[in-house]
């Protein structure tokens, strides 16, 4: 039976390990293989005069990153990785790797990100890269656990839709028989419809598609969105949920992924403390004015440079609240005492925006009015508007970008490092 490398302990009379050849070192009368699986690396020590001839034959033909199966006795060896070595009784090449390799898995020769993404199957063999996706998996596990503990219902919404979520921009049109269709920007309209269905608390973790012509370190054209919608809740209620999600994801990663954080050389991983500061949009603009050279005024969206200036002032996670209604989506509820401001918010990290949300307008007449004010045709949203005529409760929600969460959590330089097979303006394969 194969034993994971991290479970192999000294003084096992006969163990079988399977993995990839990380390094080959031939010193004449003595050779070493470093064999790696997802749990770690073990040294295979081959004294050439003492091992069977088939072991020597395999040693002559094996190449780095070949898959091997090794059987033999394990003993303590202080200088070996993990403090133990395996002396082989058998060495079988299960799958021989071609040479040269597209990139150096041992990381002695650095590779550009494009090269890494072209050979992602090799790139993820690197412990540093694998650690990112193990941490991402842990963070998603913590988030799923939170939702189930809090009584949320998991839903799946269509990714092929007839109408845009926020208008006709940034859409990927697709051929759908004889109809016009698009890849969905967000589950927004559908999760709101579920509030009319009486589900009360729903969440979805799934893909979204934005046809944004951005070629930056923080934009993707296909991303993973963590979305919720909650009935009988306002914007402050769902902001509290969002804080708790962030804190629990960080805390779970801190507890469960020490080896992965070590592989990434993150020694100062800190769990953020809630509640996060609430910064009114008007105050955020004033901070930005002092921190950037470019002109910015009330009513403008917040540029990347402004985000960085505000983030430097705030220091950690924070919310920007009370946005001008004119620059937020039609479904954001306006304040009754000042309709020029709406109950919308963004969750910010000092580096970038992570999440956007709001209390939604649940009153049919008001919603139709706000759709029209945005220059959109309410008739195009009939499937969405219909539930609002038959008893729609007050509700609020948000969407959180999974890749940006992981990127900021781990201090990655590019969001593409947080997704296995990124889709951007130029990358459609692998």
Structure confidence at residue 223 (pLDDT): 97
- Give the model confidence (pLDDT) of 174-222 as tens digits: 999 999 899 999 999 999 999 999 999 999 999 999 998 888 999 999 9
Instruction: For residues 351 and 230, state if they share a domain.
Output: yes
Q: List the CATH number of the domain containing 91.
A: 2.40.50.140
Which runs of consecutive H residues, i.e. helices, occur in 277-396? 281-291, 304-314, 364-373, 382-385
Domain total of the chain: 2
Q: Give bridge partners of residue 30 from the DSSP assignment.
A: 47
Structure confidence at residue 214 (pLDDT): 84
Instruction: For residues 233 and 169, state if they share a domain.
Output: yes
Structure confidence at residue 82 (pLDDT): 86
In a domain, 424, yes or no: no
Instruction: For residues 24 and 131, state if they share a domain.
Output: no
Instruction: For residues 90 and 185, state if they share a domain.
Output: no
Measure the CA–CA gap between 299 and 320, rounded to whole angstroms.
Answer: 14
In a domain, 296, yes or no: no
Indicate the SS3 state at residue 171.
Answer: coil
Last residue of a domain, one of 56, 76, 95: 95
In a domain, 11, yes or no: yes
Q: List the CATH number of the domain containing 161.
A: 3.30.930.10
Q: Are 17 and 37 in contact (CB under 8 A)?
A: yes
Instruction: For residues 85 and 179, state if they share a domain.
Output: no
Instruction: For residues 240 and 348, state if they share a domain.
Output: yes
In a domain, 308, yes or no: no
Instruction: For residues 89 and 135, state if they share a domain.
Output: no
Q: Are 356 and 398 in contact (CB under 8 A)?
A: yes
Measure the CA–CA gap between 83 and 150, rounded to whole angstroms.
Answer: 44
Residue with tokens 């034959």: 57
User: Which domain, by its residues, includes 266?
Assistant: 122-276+316-418
* CA separation, residue 230 to residues 31, 86, 179, 276, 345 (Å): 62, 56, 33, 20, 15
Residues of the chain predicted below pLDDT 70 = 1, 164-169
Instruction: For residues 356 and 223, state if they share a domain.
Output: yes
Instruction: For residues 87 and 128, state if they share a domain.
Output: no
In a domain, 241, yes or no: yes
199 phi, psi to nearest 5 deg: -70, -25
**Based on the number of CB atoms within 10 Å of its own CB, is 11 exposed (0-12), middle (13-18) or buried (19 or more)?**
exposed
Instruction: For residues 19 and 160, state if they share a domain.
Output: no
Instruction: For residues 89 and 231, state if they share a domain.
Output: no
Residues ≥6 apart with Cβ < 8 Å to 317: 243, 246, 272, 276, 347, 348, 349, 354
Q: Which two tokens stand for residue 385?
A: 């508007």
- Give the model confidence (pLDDT) of 342-381 as tens digits: 999 999 999 999 999 999 999 999 999 999 999 999 998 8
Residues ≥6 apart with Cβ < 8 Å to 223: 207, 208, 210, 401, 402, 403, 419
Instruction: For residues 185 and 81, state if they share a domain.
Output: no
In a domain, 426, yes or no: no
In a domain, 350, yes or no: yes
pTM of the model: 0.94
In a domain, 425, yes or no: no
């Amino acid at each position: 039976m194969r034993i994971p490398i991290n479970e192999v302990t000294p003084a096992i009379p006969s163990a079988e390990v399977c993995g990839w050849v990380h390094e080959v070192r031939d010193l004449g009368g003595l050779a070493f293989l470093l064999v790696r699986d997802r749990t770690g690396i073990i040294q295979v020590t081959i004294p050439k005069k003492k091992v069977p001839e088939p072991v020597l034959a395999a040693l002559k033909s094996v190449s780095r990153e070949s898959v091997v199966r090794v059987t033999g006795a394990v003993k303590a060896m202080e200088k070996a990785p993990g403090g133990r070595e395996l002396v082989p009784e058998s060495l079988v090449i299960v799958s021989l790797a071609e040479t040269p390799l597209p990139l150096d898995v041992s990381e002695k020769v650095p590779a550009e990100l494009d090269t890494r993404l072209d050979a992602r199957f090799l790139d993820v063999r690197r412990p540093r890269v694998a650690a990112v996706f193990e941490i991402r998996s842990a963070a998603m596990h913590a988030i799923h656990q939170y939702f189930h503990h809090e009584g949320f219902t998991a839903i799946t919404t269509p990714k092929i839709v007839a109408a845009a979520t926020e208008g006709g921009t940034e859409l990927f049109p697709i051929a759908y028989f004889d109809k016009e269709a698009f890849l969905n920007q967000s589950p927004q309209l559908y999760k709101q419809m579920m509030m009319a269905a009486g589900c009360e608390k729903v969440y979805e973790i799934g893909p979204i598609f934005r046809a944004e012509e951005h070629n930056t370190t923080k934009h993707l054209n296909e991303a993973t969105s963590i979305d919720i919608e909650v009935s009988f809740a306002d914007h402050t209620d769902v902001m509290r949920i969002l804080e708790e999600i962030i804190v629990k994801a960080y805390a779970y990663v801190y507890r469960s992924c020490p080896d992965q954080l070590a592989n990434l050389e993150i020694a100062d991983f800190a769990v953020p403390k809630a509640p996060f500061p609430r910064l009114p949009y008007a105050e955020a603009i004033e901070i930005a004015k002092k921190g950037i050279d470019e002109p910015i005024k009330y009513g403008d969206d917040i540029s990347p440079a402004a985000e960085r200036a505000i983030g430097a002032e705030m220091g950690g996670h924070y919310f920007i609240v009370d946005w001008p209604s004119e620059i937020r989506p039609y479904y954001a509820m306006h304040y009754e005492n000042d309709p020029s401001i709406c109950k919308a918010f963004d969750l910010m990290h000092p580096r970038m925006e992570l999440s956007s949300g709001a209390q939604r307008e649940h009153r049919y007449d008001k919603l139709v009015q706000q759709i029209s004010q945005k220059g959109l045709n309410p008739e195009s949203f009939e499937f969405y508007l219909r539930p609002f005529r038959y008893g729609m409760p007050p509700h609020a929600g948000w969407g959180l970008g999974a890749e940006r969460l992981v990127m900021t959590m781990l201090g990655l330089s590019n969001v593409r490092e947080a997704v296995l097979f990124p889709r951007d303006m130029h990358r459609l394969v692998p």
